[in-house]
Every structure is written in structure tokens, then in C-alpha cells.
Structure 1
Amino acid sequence: MATIFIFHGTAGYPEENWFPWLKSEMEQHGFDVVIPQFPTPENQTLEAWFDVFRKFESLVDDETTIVGHSLGGAFLLRLLEKIPVKIAVACLVAAPVGIPGTKNWETDKAFVELPFDWKAIQQHAEKFLVFHSDDDPYVPLTNGEEAARQLNVPLHFIPNAGHFNKAAGYIEFPQLRDAILTTLKD
């Protein structure tokens, strides 16, 4: 059975936003869904997040989908720079990629201050999805535009969606569910 991971962002946790809803939806489609709890904001370092992920490494294969929300998307990109397998789908939702103007820069900079190795990233996922909005108060739209450009994929632009979190009304995210299911079928 294929596994889907959902990575939260800064100050995040597995039960927030649309994560439980997406987990339930994807389980109904036969997927195993894992939402790790990463240390945040205390001990929010790349190494600490990699330490958490190592516990789940054995679940990652060519059928795996990983969804990264906010800083979880930046972590997903760092993971794709290193992992020895090529996953099925990598999905970025409101992810910072180092474009100036990102809020929480001090706590997030270890994840985004060095340039991403986009070539290595492209070699470790079969397909990519990038979602962003025009009114994200934390991660400017230019980040989503840059990620889509670097990954050679269209940007899934959703106006007035904020940071795709509960504060923006995102406790369900059918566009994301549908995009993942469609991408996995293609």
C-alpha cells in the first residue's frame, strides 16, 4: 500500500489545518497516511527534522507521496536533495524557497537560506505539485512562482487562500486531494 506523508510547518502539529481531513480522505482511497510531529519552534533545525524523519525512512519508496505545508515544504525540498529513492509525487503548499519577504525568517532560515539544488530535487520525485495564494501573510507568492518555475510545473494558484491554514478557512482542501489523486493516476 502506498504511503502519503504530510509535513507541517513552523509551530505546526499533525492535528491542525486540513491535515486530519486529508489523512481521512486519502485513507478512504486506500493510502497509509503519516503525519510526523517535528520539533517546532524549539529545536527547529534541519538536523532535528531529519532525525524525526529517519524513523519513517523505511516507508519511502517509488509509490510515496509527500505533501509539505509551509516550512514543511522547504523541508521536503531538502529531503529530496538527499534521499536515495525517487518518490511518486512531491507537493508544496505555501512553501518558502528563500525569496525575501518570508515572515519567521529567523526561525526558518536554516531551511531556506542556502540555495536549493533544484536538479537533485527533480531527480528524486516523478511529479510535482505547487500550490500558492496571492494573499499569504507568511510566504509571498513569489516563492510559489519560483518553485513552479524551477520544477517546470504549472502553479496551482488559488486566490484569497491565505496560508492555506485554519485562519484562512482551510480545514478541508479538496483541490489538493483531487490534484494528488489525478496526478497519481496519470
Structure 2
Amino acid sequence: MNRKAVLFHGTAAHPDVAWLPWLRGRLAARGYAVVAPHYPTLNVEPITTFLPKVLADHRFDANTVLVGHSGGAALLLAILEHIDTPVDQAILVAGYCTQPNTEDEPVLQDAYDWAAIRANVRDLYFINSRTDPYGCDDRQGRAMFERLGGTQIVRDDGHYGDFDQPYESFELLDRLID
């Protein structure tokens, strides 16, 4: 089985921040083909024009694991709604489905087809923190969990990596991914 993982960074970030390089290495060592694209216009460009570019860049299938952080996790909702083939796992770290603070959030859709999202992923995790400084907190995780099921994990770990929060490894993610 050819397992692959696609890791999506957050808003104003890149694939070499926080735990993303560490997770790439861990998954590659386990035999995954890992892709961690750089999307500088994530959460800058409206999702209506940004999403088609992302979908054109990747091939998703039953052996795909998706991991997104912050804005990248919000992006996963749109990806999961619009793909043609279900994926194996999706893990949304510090994800959100509604505006979490006063900043513009062009990565969010106006509405979601929750049934389509749920139908397109076998195993779904939401990892949020009660102490997230941007509002990507446990309430956001709960809102997604209530609509989609899956597993919600709540900690007190800030934003799970930020300019002022080094988060160089994330053992939990390594354990969650099949």
C-alpha cells in the first residue's frame, strides 16, 4: 500500500515552521510519501479561487492522510467537501469553521456541506487548545466535532506552534496517524 500524507501549514506560515519538518521526517521514516506544499496566499486569497488551485496540485485517495494547522486546518474542510474520493484520515490542528477572531478569514467558506465532508474521510481528528490566542480553540473544535463526529482532543497548548511558541515535535500526531 502506497501511503501518502499532505501537510498544510497555517496562515502566514510555511512548511518549515513548528512541528511540520519533524512530522515530515517521522512519516517518511514510516514509509509515507510526504508532501508539504508552500501556499503563501493561504487565507489571503478567497477560498473560491484558492481551493481550485490546491485541488489541482494534489491527488487524494483512500491511502491519503491530511494534516492541517490553523488556516491549513480550515482549508481541510473545503478540501474534504470538494474531493472526489474519500481519504483515510484528516487531522485538524487548531482548526476552525467560523471566524475565530476579528481578522478576515478568506479561507473559510460561507457554508459547508457537512455530510459531504464526513463522507470523504474515514477517520477525523480535531486537536484544539483552550488557551489558543487566536480563537482557534476548543469551542471551534467542538463546533466541527458536533457536525462531523470523529474525535476531539482538547489540551492547553496555545496554538500548537507560533512565532512565540516553539513546538518542534508533536508526538500525538505521530501516534494518531495509522
Work out whether the TM-score is over 0.5: yes
User: Structure 1 residue 41: deviation in Å?
Assistant: 6.3
Higher helix share: 1
Matches within 5 A, 1:10-21: 10-21=11-22
Q: CA 1:2/1:113 → structure 2, altered by over 3 Å: closer, same or farther?
A: closer
- Which stretches in structure 1 are left out of the alignment for 5+ residues? none
CA distance in 2: counterparts of 1:9 and 1:44, whole angstroms = 13
Residues 140-175 of structure 1 show CA distances to partners (whole Å, capped at 9, x for unaligned) of: 32101111222212311122x101014333110001
Structure 1 runs of 4+ off > 4 angstroms? none
Residues 34-88 of structure 1 show CA distances to partners (whole Å, capped at 9, x for unaligned) of: 011113368533223431441223xx21110000110111111101111100000
1:3–1:63: 8 Å Cα contact kept in structure 2?
yes
- Which stretches in structure 2 are left out of the alignment for 5+ residues? none
What is the RMSD computed on CA atoms of the aligned residues?
A: 1.8
Q: CA 1:42/1:30 → structure 2, altered by over 3 Å: closer, same or farther?
A: closer
SS of the aligned residue for 2:107 comes to: helix
CA distance in 1: counterparts of 2:34 and 2:141, whole angstroms = 25
CA distance in 1: counterparts of 2:43 and 2:144, whole angstroms = 27
Residues 72-106 of structure 1 show CA distances to partners (whole Å, capped at 9, x for unaligned) of: 111111011111000000110001110x5x23631
Aligned residue among 29, 54, 59 for 2:56: 54
Aligned-residue sequence identity (percent) comes to 29
CA distance in 1: counterparts of 2:43 and 2:117, whole angstroms = 27
TM-score, with structure 1 as normaliser: 0.86
TM-score, with structure 2 as normaliser: 0.90
1:5–1:67: 8 Å Cα contact kept in structure 2?
yes
- How many residues were matched structurally? 174
CA distance in 2: counterparts of 1:153 and 1:91, whole angstroms = 10
